[in-house]
Amino acid sequence: MNVDFYRHTLSAEDADSVASVLATPFLTTGAVSRSVEERLCSYFDVPHTLLTNSWTNGATALLLALGIGPGDEVIVPAMTFVASANVAELVGAKAVLVDVDPETLLVTPAAVSAAITPRTKAVMPVHLYGQMVDIEKLRAAVDKVAPTGHHIAIVEDCAHCFEGRLNGYRPGRFSDAAVFSFYATKNVTCGEGGAIIFSSGGLYEITRETRTHGMSAIAADRFKGGTYNHWDMMRLGLKANLPDLLAALLPRQIETIDTRLEEREELARRYDEGLDDTPLRRPMPVSGGRSAWHLYTVGVAGGRRDEVIASLNAAGISVTVNYRALPELHYYAKHHPETVERCPFALQWGRETLSLPFYPGLPKDQQNYVIDTLRNVIGESSSADKGGPI
């Protein structure tokens, strides 16, 4: 039996939304994007949203808007996708990698506080696999150690967490901004895309410019009132806006996200039960949280992870690794070698983890096959390898 790792939920019905944009003369960022931005403002209960053509470009535009550059530091967990740290390095700042909690795999206020220096300009907590970092606590911890009069921005990496919650709050409540990815495998997708939500107008206004080459007006705004209006270039920016052609795929994705979360929760419950008495490690649920369940990850102890992946692949099961820890990747090992010793938990999880097939609509018989095959592959692991904190 072959089991795909992931399948999206876009369908032929969504072609109509794209066709309706094709029927207009305007393909790039315009009325459709604006209405999706409004929808996202109400979903997250925030005053401002900007759609972007990826998380990466959106976060880069945001860091530029925050004035982050050479000589500055951005604190990032060592267990995440490379993009979270790369955007800091791309604008010329230093990504300061910190370790994660051994049970939840999330960055902690204590680890962030300990890494703050007078050069720290921002912190990028990552809601890994869909579980939220406690941003309210992080905000308090950061403010406590920040040098007097020095605001350290908190930018949430929500690539894994659109629909998750913690203590009743969605992302964006306690941070300066939260950045989402609508990449092909994300819970809400339009193939490639993203969004930034803002709690304040000032940062939004500047990011609106850095999102499009620092221009004071995008194409859609230049013809207001039927006449051409000149634009100015206010600052350096990049090209990070999302075209209406892709934005048109988002409304249905957003309307159905909460139903799909229930399906994800059911799949996670079935994996939990099916793998409960095995030595596989799993991230601990965060108390008071509702995970967005972007990925279902397990940890294989005893140096057997890659052998288990090969056996699952041989059985027709697609899996991925999310992620090898950043300090072990060539670039970060070369440029920030000191972080290897500082991040033992991220490193260990990065050597043990693999992600199982997981998407709404995954047939039950296929999921049962994954569970049975994985149980057989890990076989008679010694009880010394049994779960618990890493």
Interstrand relation of 48-52 and 194-198 (parallel, antiparallel or unpaired)? antiparallel
Taking the C-alpha atoms of residue 34 and residue 15, their distance in angstroms, rounded to an integer, is 20
Binder among 29, 54, 60, 212 for ligand PLP (CB under 6 A): 54
Say which DSSP state 299 is in.
Answer: E
Q: For residues 292 and 308, which CB has a smaller minimum distance to ligand PLP in the complex? A: 292
Residues 94-133 that bind ligand PLP (CB under 6 A): 126
| Contact between 160 and ligand PLP per CB under 6 A | yes
Taking the C-alpha atoms of residue 54 and residue 62, their distance in angstroms, rounded to an integer, is 12
CB of 266 to ligand PLP, least distance (A): 23
- Return the half-sphere exposure (C-beta side, CA atoms, 13 A cut-off) of residue 312: 28
Which segment (53-61, 251-259, 347-355, 360-368) binds ligand PLP by CB under 6 A?
A: 53-61
Question: ω into residue 323 within 30 of 0, thus cis?
Answer: yes
Q: For residues 55 and 345, which CB has a smaller minimum distance to ligand PLP in the complex? A: 55
Measure CA 185 to chain center: 11
Structure-derived torsion over alpha carbons of residues 156, 179, 201, 225, reported in degrees to the nearest 10: 180
| Contact between 339 and ligand PLP per CB under 6 A | no
Task: Burial-class residue 208 by CB neighbours within 10 Å (0-12, 13-18, 19+).
Answer: buried
Residues 244-273 that bind ligand PLP (CB under 6 A): none
| Contact between 17 and ligand PLP per CB under 6 A | no
Taking the C-alpha atoms of residue 333 and residue 343, their distance in angstroms, rounded to an integer, is 12
Binder among 43, 44, 55, 271 for ligand PLP (CB under 6 A): 55
CB of 194 to ligand PLP, least distance (A): 5
Binder among 56, 131, 241, 373 for ligand PLP (CB under 6 A): 56
| Contact between 135 and ligand PLP per CB under 6 A | no
Binding footprint of ligand PLP, residue count (CB under 6 A): 14
Measure CA 343 to chain center: 20
Closest-CA residue to 141 (of 71, 46, 75, 81): 75
| Contact between 355 and ligand PLP per CB under 6 A | no
Which segment (152-160, 241-249, 267-275, 382-390) binds ligand PLP by CB under 6 A?
A: 152-160
Residues that bind ligand PLP (CB under 6 A): 54-56, 80-81, 83-84, 126, 157, 159-160, 181, 183, 194
